[in-house]
């Protein structure tokens, strides 16, 4: 067993570990941090500290510029020390390799992915997760295709067959899902987890291109000055001619947030946003503030980005993306007492990676039990 553990550690440390071996190492850290009952000699800790420092230097030299988690350096050092301690913990434990690895893979929770359901105008529901690449359906001269990269594309296949009948489709993502679709007018839509979009199969017979959103979506609207594009969600309406923007309209969030990245949009036929501004519609009132617009589309870019975000806000995102329930075993106190965090991490890490990062800079602890995360 010692050789197996040492081999995994050597491979992960050198950057040659497989995805499975990296996740096993991450979970070792997770388990040790929860147990905190392993004892090591001073000699062991000295050796681990030396190894840790060596690894930090290697990572700093290899690290490329860009966004990364902004945890203090001491937290990064602590993570490495704990990781090596965990290896010793498993070495001294007498349980067999197979049972340990099975437990590791069972307990952690993997990230979400491209998962969605499409409901056609005739009521037929198609699982896009299971559907093969290629043509899925044809409606009123519009061909619906699933690409090999997991996108839904609407194209005009027969102009003469396009009538004036209103054919509505709905695409919806479950918790732990996301999806991209291209509408016949050229508009691109990225749908976040636990969201849905209702839209006409063909806009050509209408003066306005209207879609209805629940949850969150990012839009790159094709320019058409004669046919405004409208997004309706939770009592709000966003009107554009051609632009890039994000709408967050989850029922459990504090208001509907519209963030503009490019062009201009008009919210509720009243307020015009410019790039870098975000409107918040709550209680019938609309407020506007300047923001880092790229933070609002972190999910589309495959990241979680936090900018002094309360733990409760972060865990709502975790719940939706990892398809887990959040249970608060402890009382976090008043909203002013809830810890906040800044930084970023890939959305495609296992959930334990994010939880450990949150633990390193607060007194909050987490336990993963099946599809439930308990906050202690």
pLDDT number for residue 9? 57
Percent helix, strand and coil across the chain, each rounded to 5? Answer: 30, 35, 35
State whether 119 and 268 are in the same domain: yes
C-beta separation of 218 from 162 below 8 A: no
Q: What is the pLDDT of residue 284?
A: 92
**Same domain, yes or no, for 287 and 335?**
no
Q: Looking at the structure, do residues 230 and 276 belong to the same domain, yes or no?
A: yes
Residues 101 and 82 in one domain: yes
The per-residue pLDDT for 43 is 52
- Closest Cα partner for 316 from 175, 109, 214? 175
What per-residue confidence (pLDDT) applies to 203? Answer: 85
H-helix or E-strand containing 116? none
Nearest to 278 by CA among 268, 267, 291: 291
| Same-domain check for residues 63 and 130 | no
In contact, 29 and 83? CB cutoff 8 Å: yes
Shared domain for 237 and 357, answered yes or no, is: no
- CB atoms near residue 125 (< 10 Å): 10
Residues 325 and 275 in one domain: no
**Same-domain status, 121 and 12:** no
Q: 139 and 248 in one domain?
A: yes
CATH number at residue 247: 2.60.120.1440
Q: What pLDDT is recorded for position 374? A: 95
Q: How many CA atoms lie within 13 A of 225 on its CB side?
A: 0
Counting the structural domains of the chain, the total is 3
Domain shared by 123 and 229, yes or no: yes
Q: Which CATH number fits the domain that encloses residue 356?
A: 3.55.50.30
Q: How far apart are the first and last CA of the chain?
A: 33
Quick one: pLDDT at residue 332?
Answer: 86
Q: Tell which of 279, 296, 313 closes a domain.
A: 296
- The structure tokens listed for 74 are 């001491």
The reported pLDDT for the residue numbered 6 is 57
What pLDDT score does 122 carry? 92
Q: What is the pLDDT of residue 65?
A: 45
Q: What is the pLDDT along the chain (376 residues), one digit of tens a residue?
A: 444 555 665 666 666 777 666 665 554 444 444 444 444 454 554 455 455 445 544 554 554 444 444 443 334 444 444 444 433 333 334 444 444 333 333 468 999 999 999 999 999 999 999 999 999 998 878 899 999 988 999 998 876 666 667 889 999 999 999 999 999 899 999 999 999 999 998 887 789 999 999 999 999 999 998 899 999 999 999 999 889 999 999 999 999 999 999 999 999 998 999 999 999 999 999 999 999 999 999 999 999 999 999 999 999 999 999 999 999 998 888 888 899 999 899 999 999 999 999 998 888 999 999 999 999 9
Claim to verify: residue 97 and residue 135 sit in the same structural domain:
no
Domain membership of residue 362 as a residue range? 303-375
**Distance, CA of 170 to CA of 199 (rounded, Å):** 6
Q: What are phi and psi of 221, to 5 degrees?
A: -85, 130
pLDDT for res 4: 57
Domain end residue (candidates: 264, 296, 328): 296
* Domain final residue, candidates 296, 314, 338: 296
Q: Do both 123 and 200 map to the same domain?
A: yes
- The number of residues in the chain equals 376
């Amino acid at each position: 067993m010692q050789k197996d553990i040492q081999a995994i550690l050597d491979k992960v440390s050198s950057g040659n570990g497989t995805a499975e071996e990296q996740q096993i190492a991450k979970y070792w850290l997770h388990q040790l941090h929860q147990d905190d009952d392993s004892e090591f000699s001073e000699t062991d800790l000295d050796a681990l500290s030396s190894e840790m420092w060596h690894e930090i230097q290697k990572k700093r030299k290899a690290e490329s510029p860009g966004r990364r988690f902004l945890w203090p350096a001491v937290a990064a050092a602590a993570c490495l020390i704990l990781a090596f301690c965990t290896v010793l913990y498993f070495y001294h434990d007498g349980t067999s390799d197979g049972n340990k690895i099975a437990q590791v893979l069972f307990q952690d929770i993997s990230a979400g992915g491209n998962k969605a359901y499409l409901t056609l105008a005739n009521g037929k529901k198609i699982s896009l997760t299971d559907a093969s690449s290629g043509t899925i359906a044809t409606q009123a001269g519009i061909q619906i295709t699933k690409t090999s990269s997991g996108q839904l594309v609407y194209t005009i296949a027969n102009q003469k067959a396009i009538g004036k009948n209103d054919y509505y489709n709905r695409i919806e993502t479950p918790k732990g899902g996301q999806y991209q679709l291209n509408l016949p007018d050229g508009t691109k839509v990225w749908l976040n987890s636990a969201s849905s979009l209702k839209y006409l199969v063909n806009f050509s017979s209408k003066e306005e291109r209207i879609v209805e959103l629940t949850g969150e979506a990012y839009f790159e609207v094709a320019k058409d000055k004669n046919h405004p594009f409208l997004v309706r969600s939770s009592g709000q309406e966003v009107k554009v001619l051609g632009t890039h923007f994000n709408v967050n309209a989850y029922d459990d969030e504090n208001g509907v947030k519209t963030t503009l990245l490019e062009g201009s949009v008009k919210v509720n036929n009243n307020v015009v946003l410019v790039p870098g501004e975000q409107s918040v519609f709550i209680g019938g009132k609309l407020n506007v503030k300047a923001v880092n617009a790229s933070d609002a589309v972190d999910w589309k870019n495959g990241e979680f980005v936090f900018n002094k975000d309360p733990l409760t806000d972060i865990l709502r995102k975790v719940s939706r993306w990892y398809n887990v329930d959040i249970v608060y075993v402890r009382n976090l106190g008043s909203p002013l007492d809830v810890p906040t965090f800044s930084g970023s991490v890939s959305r495609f890490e296992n959930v334990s990676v994010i939880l450990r990062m949150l633990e390193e800079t607060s007194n909050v602890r987490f336990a993963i039990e099946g599809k439930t995360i308990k906050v202690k």
